[in-house]
Amino acid sequence: MVARLLGPGPFAPTIAAKLETRAVARPAVRDDIPVARRTLNPALRRRRGWRPVLGTAVVLLALGVGLVLVFPGPLRRLLGPPPVQGLSARQGIDGRLLGHFPYAEAKAIALVEVAPGQSLRREAAQALRALLQDAAGSGVDLRLLSAFRSEALQKHLFFDVKAARNQSAEERARVSAPPGFSEHSTGYAVDLGDGSRPQTNLSANFDQTPAFHWLKQNANRYHFQLSFPLNNRQGVSYEPWHWRFEGSADALRQFEAAQRFNR
């Protein structure tokens, strides 16, 4: 009986043949099913189709809103129009335009007259008066050439002079800030000259005058410092005549980005 079951009997070849047939037949049977019937049913496919798309859209929207909330400035700079009308240049990631940092225009109420037609913020005006007085006391003829400048005046100085001198925007920006990007707009910056050497006014060789040497020795006592020294990292040309006041919390805050950049 046992020998009949295990040994080669009449049924053994039949079972082996069936198993072989099944093994060979399986792929054939699968290929016989039409592709459309082998995949999921269409309703389920449709549902799986829009869900990931909607999920991705929601995640992207949340990411976009988050970026706008966290980085409104850089995104506006990247996606918005160029900041100065008439200039195609855009601000860099650090906010600079052609080397210059952006500055808000001081309100008229914050300004006091420091010389006829020239005004500064109150603290800067007091410090400048003391500086001029002490320079005069030392026999130095230090003159105030320019103080607060409105954005409208800066616009004229940038565009009209650029046109008159046939300069490109980049060339002009090396010697003058575009409107909205001038330290003079803050009411904390001044251009100084030497009354005994007026030919050096607003030129690099002002640094050869007695007035400049006195400033180098003494300006820090009155919280004034040179904004654009020789080979400054901002890429603005050397301006030995241009000094900014950093003697108040507000002034320090306004020039913090420039300070950090040039450190």
Question: Which listed range, 16-24, 154-162, 201-209, 241-249, lies at the site for Zn ion (CB under 5 A)?
Answer: 241-249
Q: Which of residues 189-228 bind Zn ion (CB under 5 A)?
A: 191
Q: What pairs with residue 97 in β-bridges?
A: 100
How many Å apart are CA 12 and CA 193, to the nearest integer? 116
What's the min distance (Å) between Cβ of 139 and Zn ion? 25
Query: Is 100 near Zn ion (CB under 5 A)?
Result: no
The nearer residue to Zn ion, 90 or 197, going by C-beta atoms, is: 197
What's the min distance (Å) between Cβ of 66 and Zn ion? 40
What's the min distance (Å) between Cβ of 227 and Zn ion? 8
Please name the helix (run of DSSP H) or strand (run of DSSP E) that holds residue 111, with its range, or none: strand 111-115
Query: Is 149 near Zn ion (CB under 5 A)?
Result: no
What's the min distance (Å) between Cβ of 91 and Zn ion? 21
Judged by CB under 5 A, which of 77, 162, 242, 244 binds Zn ion? Answer: 242
Tokens of 84: 């100065």
Question: Which listed range, 77-85, 120-128, 186-194, 203-211, lies at the site for Zn ion (CB under 5 A)?
Answer: 186-194
List contacts with Zn ion (CB under 5 A): 191, 242
